[in-house]
Amino acid sequence: MKIKGFIFDLDGVIVDTAKYHFLAWRKLANSVGVDFTEEQNEQLKGVSRVKSLEKILAWGSITLSDDKFTELMTKKNHDYLKYVDQMDESEILPDVTKVLAYLQLKSQPISLGSASKNARNILKKVSLFESFDAIVDGTDVSKGKPNPEVFLTAAKLLNLSPEDCIVFEDSVAGIQAANNANMISIGIGSSEVLFEADFVFKDFTEISTEFIDMLLTEELKLKNQS
């Protein structure tokens, strides 16, 4: 059995914060007169706070001063943190804890690989901070997904080569980042949206211990690497 690195995205993979990001961005978009659909939201998943606001403003052909831009980013995060403050273990998505426990039982290293600058805070809120051997978040990287920096940094911290790492992601940008890092990409969500992933599951309840054993024992051929 090989040692593999398992890298988890946070928002929409470990916890259902994707819905809180959506609510906070929609409120902000609407406040500057921009409609905000579920499809547009999909394009913001995995994308940094700055890039997300840039996209929303571009959709509305809006140009702002730097000060106003910073003010809106602060506002969005303020709204988002109101949801985060209410979080506890009950917000961990189904069977995430089970998969983490199985990987720990098999002595497999685990890292976080998130674009969020709030990631450490959220992991503490849901009592999962101690479950990770390494944490890489939006405060540790300069290039956002789909750039592979976040996952390559995680691999380095785990002392593993990228080819021996497996990424769980719910966003298109994140799957692309994993593929760009030459890692196995596992989409969590809809296969129609995450068609670039090596594997897709609706959620962790669909991920069996047999599947994880297969990841640990077989040489997998990557189908989507750049």
- Residue 111: name its binding partner from Mg ion, ligand BG6, none (Cβ under 5 to 8 Å by kind): none
Q: Which is nearer to Mg ion, 19 or 27 (CB)?
A: 19
Within residues 160-189, the interface with Mg ion by CB under 5 A covers 170-171
Q: Quick one: 86 exposed, middle or buried, by C-beta within 10 A (0-12, 13-18, 19+)? A: exposed
CA dihedral 177, 164, 211, 115 (to 10 degrees): -30
Distances (CA, A) of 199 to 82, 156, 186, 192: 34, 24, 5, 12
* Residue 97 makes contact with ligand BG6 by CB under 6 A: no
- Binding to ligand BG6 (CB under 6 A) within 40-69 occurs at 44-49, 52
The closest of 161, 118, 165 to 139, measured between CA atoms, is 118
| Binding residues with ligand BG6: total (CB under 6 A) | 18
For the question of residue 9 being annotated catalytic, the response is yes
Give the separation between CA 195 and CA 101, rounded to whole angstroms: 28
12 binds Mg ion (CB under 5 A): yes
With CB cut-offs between 5 and 8 Å by kind, which of Mg ion, ligand BG6, none does residue 115 bind?
ligand BG6
Separation of alpha carbons 103 and 6, rounded Å: 8
Of positions 4, 6, 11, 160, contacts ligand BG6 by CB under 6 A: 11
Residues recognised as catalytic: 9, 11
Q: Which residues bind Mg ion (CB under 5 A)?
A: 9, 11-12, 170-171
